[in-house]
Structure 1
């Protein structure tokens, strides 16, 4: 999943360590999220959203972001 966590974190002047501490996770978790190697749980995504001042939809873009409606 593509994400904009790194960009948003940097714009706010936060280090990975500072963000990790505020989230209650390891710095390695933040690194993994930023690199797209780890998709956060929904509760963690909500905490990221609140701390970074952006909606979940703004932070995370699904790999297949061409959302289609059910043709029924």
Structure 2
């Protein structure tokens, strides 16, 4: 699954550290999600989308591989 977290975070000038604090996760978790190495739980994905005032679908993009 791909995501637009880094792009959205930079648009709003939010650091990884600040985002992690707001979501009550580690900075390493944010890094792993941004790099596509970790898919967040549904509740965390919803919190991330809410943080950016977007829908989950606007933040996270399913790959063809995810659909198989």
User: TM-score with structure 1 length normalisation?
Assistant: 0.87
Aligned residue pair count? 66
**Over the residues paired in the alignment, what is the CA RMSD in angstroms?**
1.3
Which of the two has higher C-alpha Rg?
1
Moved over 6 A (4+): none
Point out where structure 2 has 5 or more consecutive residues left out of the alignment.
Answer: none
Richer in helix (by share): 2
TM-score by length of 2: 0.92
Match of 2:20 in 1: 20
Q: Find the counterpart in structure 2 of residue 70 from structure 1.
A: none
- Structure 1, unmatched stretches of 5+, are 68-72
User: Hey, what does 1:7 align to over in structure 2?
Assistant: 7
